[in-house]
Amino acid sequence: MKVIVLGGGVVGVTTAYQLQNDGCDVVIVERQPLVAAETSWGNAGMIAPGHSFVWSSPKAPMILLKSLVFKDQALRFKFSADPRLYSWSWRFLMECTSTKARRNTLLKHRLAAYSQRVLQQVIAREAIEYDRNDRGILYFHRTQEALDHGVAQMKLLESDGQVIRVLSRDQVVAVDPSLASAKHGIAGAIYCPTDETGDPAKFTRALAEKIVARGGTLLTDTAVSGFETAGQNVAGVRTDRGLVTGDAYVLALGSYSPLLGRQIGIDLPIYPIKGYSLTIPIDGQPLPPTVAAVDEHNLVAISRFGDRIRVTATAEFAGYDTSHKPSDFAFMKRVTRELYPAGGNYDRAEMWAGLRPMTPTNLPFLGRSKYRNLYLNTGHGHIGWTMSHGSARITADLIAGRAPAIPTVGLLCD
């Protein structure tokens, strides 16, 4: 079977890998010169089932409302003329009941935890160097009240098998001594020792090389502009290099999937939510972070990729605009510098912005579309690196006509 995978982000490439392992002939179509050049490039690299909480929670409407009034650093909601912003926001708000938030969080955690297991199978099979750090993630809080609230909330993920440890500030420093000078600003942490980190772009590019070495085709610099359909099937994808045809197709274009889907009547409520990241070289500084951390008060995530630190922050409604300016990074840089004053060379930080492909439920669209041979694997939002490996395996199983290894009720769109 020949399968055309649209999109060479982490979701598309992991899908192609799983399909190839099943014996499929795979073609990845990617508009950039390299895979993992858009959202899958600059993220925080956290494989974080412990961060599976959905954004569409009962707290979200008030956070959105406040962001209109106060110049919030973490969330920036802006009105725009784009009607899709309002239809998406309405659907998002409809998911913000406590019942739906609980359901969506548990489904997301199931997928994220499965996905981590699939990732571990892949790296047991393949030699891939991607600056993996398997020492867990510290989700730390600034006040005792916030920590207590976080611990209570975490019971939900714990009930689904997430391993957590509640740490005092001294125990936080014992896990990562590089936080010693900042410890008085930290009340304690929820430590998820089984969460991990690694550079998603390095991983994706190395995996793509393996796919090509095993006979797969990678069509880079190739932009998809539309579909040819024949009745209930997709007959081909139109690209700026001609028609690409196969037996089955996987839509994995991240934030851009709805733009293509819409052309053939597939409505995908995926909205781009912009985030920013800094990549800071350690440059011989003595106390870089040794364990990834999330500052839950400031909503800043910090990971260590070998000789670099990756810091991410901010959720901004800016449509498809990925531009950035130094002032966008001032807050996250200041927070990181205060936490790790001798952590890296902050003057040489590389700036980046990318788009999280967010769905109202915060769950991706997985499964067969209304076209019999077009499968969806898209809309992975804020933890798409985490969920990609499992989503890829499930997609390959569905294409092979096999039952996926985890229950998929609530996870599939068909």
Binding footprint of ligand FAD on the chain (CB under 6 A): 7-12, 29-32, 37-40, 43-46, 48, 223-224, 252-254, 256, 275, 277, 301, 312, 354, 356-357, 378, 380-386
Nearest residue (CB) to ligand FAD, 53 versus 385: 385
CA 160 to chain centre: 21
Nearest residue (CB) to ligand FAD, 40 versus 162: 40
Mark residue 316 as left, alpha or beta (left: phi above 0; alpha: psi -120 to 50; beta: remaining): beta
Buried b (16+ CB within 10 A) or exposed e, 344-380: bebeebeebbbbbbbbbbbbbbbbbbebebbbbbbbb
Q: Tell me the C-alpha distance between 77 and 65, whole Å.
A: 9
Question: Strand locations in 18-126, DSSP E?
Answer: 25-29, 46-47, 75-76
Number of Cβ atoms within 10 Å of the Cβ of 174? 12
Report whether 115 contacts 387 (CB < 8 A).
yes
Residue 184: CB minimum distance to ligand FAD, A? 27
Nearest residue (CB) to ligand FAD, 38 versus 95: 38
Nearest residue (CB) to ligand FAD, 205 versus 356: 356
* Closest listed residue to residue 340, CA positions, set 362, 316, 365, 311: 311
Residue 219: CB minimum distance to ligand FAD, A? 9
* Closest listed residue to residue 30, CA positions, set 11, 47, 48: 11
Nearest residue (CB) to ligand FAD, 179 versus 376: 376
Residue 284: CB minimum distance to ligand FAD, A? 26
Nearest residue (CB) to ligand FAD, 187 versus 251: 251
Residue 124: CB minimum distance to ligand FAD, A? 20
Residue 15: CB minimum distance to ligand FAD, A? 9
Compute CA distances 111 → 52, 116, 179, 199, 233, whole Å: 9, 9, 32, 20, 28
The CB-side HSE value for 296 (13 A sphere, CA atoms) comes to 24
Residue 252: CB minimum distance to ligand FAD, A? 6
Which residue type sits at 117?
A: R
Residue 148: CB minimum distance to ligand FAD, A? 25
Nearest residue (CB) to ligand FAD, 139 versus 187: 139
